[in-house]
Structure 1
Amino acid sequence: MSSRTNIALSGAVHRLFDMHLISLTDDYRILVLHKVPSELKTLFETDGLDPLAWEREAVVASGVCGEA
């Protein structure tokens, strides 16, 4: 495949593309799925916390870093 037909995507965007949550038109405009399939909704659950607090707790709990 020619490099002219390849599109460089960040890891996060590539995952969204692989999960069929986004796509591209032939003229490279972004298409976004507006209804999340039920099997993917658990990816967005935050146990009632706001998303930033949920992410912070997950990172601290992983032991990768500690709070400053």
Structure 2
Amino acid sequence: MPQLRTQAAQMLSMFGNTYLCEQLFSSMKMTKTSNRRRLTDEHLRSILRISSAQSLSPDIDELASKKRC
């Protein structure tokens, strides 16, 4: 019985915060509008992956040093 209680608590805690799920769904809804309904699932998945990667930031100095004129 204690093991069942522990597993139930773990299962419930996995879905305790729906903020990230709701945020991603809102982003998907704004991306896949009626004008963009031809987006494939793969393209939509890639767009959502990029939009949800909040910790990424470009290294401008490195990009500028590699720029070819």
Does the alignment reach a TM-score above 0.5? no
More helix by share: 2
The structure number with the bigger radius of gyration is 2
Structure ranking higher on relative contact order (CA contacts 8 Å, 6+ apart): 2
TM-score normalised by L of structure 1: 0.26
